[in-house]
């Protein structure tokens, strides 16, 4: 499903204006999710964008925002701490509640994961929580401070180099981090929890996922992110995480509303904004991507347009043959149809007439190979080929179709 991204602003815990993006799916809307980014990251992290895109396919709107003093948000980062992050999350939830709908899903990445675990009990509308690479102890973040931690504790403040950027951090941040007990919050969560973590995560070790999982009550689930790094910098890892979360959420959200409820059903195809060619496809209540392979400049996240044509021919052929078998009481094994497409010169077309082969240029050629489980006689093979040619999509492809275009 495609989505529209809206730029929003709302007041954070301190009154500072926080910058946010709300990714709203086109079509039916099932729920709102609130996404908390990792420590010193921002709402525009590539992984956050991709996860939002995957959730949009399931009709879930995602609000992602910059915590106070980070990204495009106002405020002084040095005056913030984990408690202020929790307060910002509550402000974000209030904003959604007042202007759209309260979030029923919380998703947190790294320290943002710890924050959503801590805040979930204070947002009554939340029905499910998902974390990605979350620490089991807020104090874990202090390990990234190195020798600066001692300076902070002695002098009250120090500059800390984090991911190539320098941040001023005060002693109050350290003291606040040590005061929170995330595992206690997890134990009293009483909401479905999904934990995603990479075994090779060098920033937040996999043992953190184990501690969170053991502290949580059922229903709880763990998914390994295999070889992903902490920030999910590989777009395929982020897409996988998004698909897992969206699929898991279907158990805890209201059923999707089909798109086509009238007499006329249609397919909607819309650019997602991800990659050069990726489009979301909505057909009734079904959603998937259309794309081009990587060697053509796409992300290879879905079938290509010609793949969809081949899918239509193959599916229609199989269905037509099954209808024929049921109608004639013919025992027919499982049907398989392989379809390939190519552009060939008209003169090379074996099935074309002499008049057609005399023309110049290329034509589209679909080759269909039908396989049937079990023994099939020669006479039945001929009949199967005859019935396959009566497939409506087959006839459409061979006929001259008319396409009416309306530009709004």
The CATH number assigned to the domain with range 3-250 reads 3.40.50.1820
pLDDT tens-place string over residues 108-145:
999 999 999 999 999 999 999 999 999 999 888 887 77
Q: What is the mean pLDDT of residues 225-234?
A: 94
| Model pLDDT, residue 262 | 36
pLDDT of 288: 80
Is 351 a residue whose pLDDT tops 90? no
Query: pLDDT tens across 150-159, in order?
Result: 888 888 888 7
d(CA 173, CA 211): 23
pLDDT tens string 173-184: 888 888 899 999
CA 246 – CA 56 distance, rounded (Å): 9
pLDDT at residue 48 is higher than 60: yes
- Please check the confidence at residue 259 and state whether its pLDDT lies above 60: no
pLDDT class for 260, splitting at 50, 70, 90?
very low
pLDDT value of residue 359: 64
Q: What is the pLDDT of residue 109?
A: 96
The count of other CB atoms within 10 Å of the CB of residue 187 is 13
Q: Over 60: is that where the pLDDT of 1 sits? A: no
Q: Which pLDDT value is given to residue 83?
A: 94
Task: Give yes or no for residue 77 having a pLDDT over 90.
Answer: no
Q: What is the pLDDT of residue 104?
A: 95
**What fold characterizes domain 305-398?**
GMP Synthetase; Chain A, domain 3 (3.30.300)
Q: What is the DSSP string of 58-100?
A: TTEEEEEEPPTTSTT--S-GGG--HHHHHHHHHHHHHHHHHHS
Domain coordinates in residue numbering, the chain: 3-250, 305-398
**Percent of the chain whose predicted confidence (pLDDT) is above 90:** 54
Confidence at residue 358, expressed as pLDDT on a 0 to 100 scale:
61
What is the structure's pLDDT at 284? 74
Residue 354's pLDDT band, with cuts at 50, 70 and 90, is: low
pLDDT tops 90 at residue 399? no
The pLDDT of residue 346 is above 70: no
């Amino acid at each position: 499903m495609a989505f529209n991204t809206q730029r929003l602003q709302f007041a954070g815990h301190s009154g500072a204006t926080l910058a946010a993006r709300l990714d709203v799916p086109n079509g039916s809307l099932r729920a709102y999710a609130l996404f908390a980014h990792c420590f010193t990251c921002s709402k525009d992290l590539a992984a956050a964008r991709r996860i939002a895109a995957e959730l949009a396919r399931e009709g879930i709107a995602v609000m992602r925002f910059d915590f106070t003093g980070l990204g495009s948000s106002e405020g002084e980062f040095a005056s913030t701490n984990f408690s202020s992050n929790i307060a910002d999350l509550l402000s974000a939830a209030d904003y959604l509640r007042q202007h759209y709908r309260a979030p029923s899903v919380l998703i947190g990445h790294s320290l943002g994961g710890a924050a959503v675990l801590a805040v979930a009990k204070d947002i009554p509308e939340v029905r499910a929580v998902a974390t990605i690479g979350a620490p089991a102890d807020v104090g874990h973040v202090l390990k990234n401070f190195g020798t600066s931690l001692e300076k902070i504790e002695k002098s009250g403040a120090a500059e800390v180099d984090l991911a190539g950027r320098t941040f001023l951090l005060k002693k109050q941040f350290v003291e606040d981090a040590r005061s929170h007990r995330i595992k206690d919050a997890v134990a009293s969560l009483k909401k479905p929890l999904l934990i995603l973590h990479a075994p090779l995560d060098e920033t937040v070790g996999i043992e953190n996922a184990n501690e969170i999982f053991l502290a949580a009550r059922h229903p709880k689930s763990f998914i390994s992110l295999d070889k992903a790094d902490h920030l999910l910098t590989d777009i395929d890892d982020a897409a996988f995480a998004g698909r897992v979360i969206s699929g898991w959420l279907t158990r805890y959200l209201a059923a999707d509303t089909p798109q086509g409820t009238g007499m006329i059903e249609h397919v909607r195809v819309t650019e997602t904004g991800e990659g050069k060619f990726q489009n979301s496809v909505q057909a009734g209540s079904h959603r998937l991507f259309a794309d081009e392979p990587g060697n053509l400049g796409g992300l290879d996240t879905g079938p290509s347009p010609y793949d969809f044509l081949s899918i239509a021919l193959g599916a229609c052929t199989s269905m037509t043959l099954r209808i024929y078998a049921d109608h004639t009481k013919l025992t027919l094994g499982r049907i398989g149809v392989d379809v390939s497409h190519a552009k060939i010169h008209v003169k090379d077309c074996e099935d074309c007439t002499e008049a057609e082969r005399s023309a110049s240029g290329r034509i589209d050629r679909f080759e269909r190979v039908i396989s049937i489980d079990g023994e099939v006689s020669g006479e039945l093979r001929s009949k199967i080929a005859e019935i396959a040619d009566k497939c409506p999509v087959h006839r459409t492809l061979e006929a001259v179709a008319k396409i009416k275009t309306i530009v709004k």
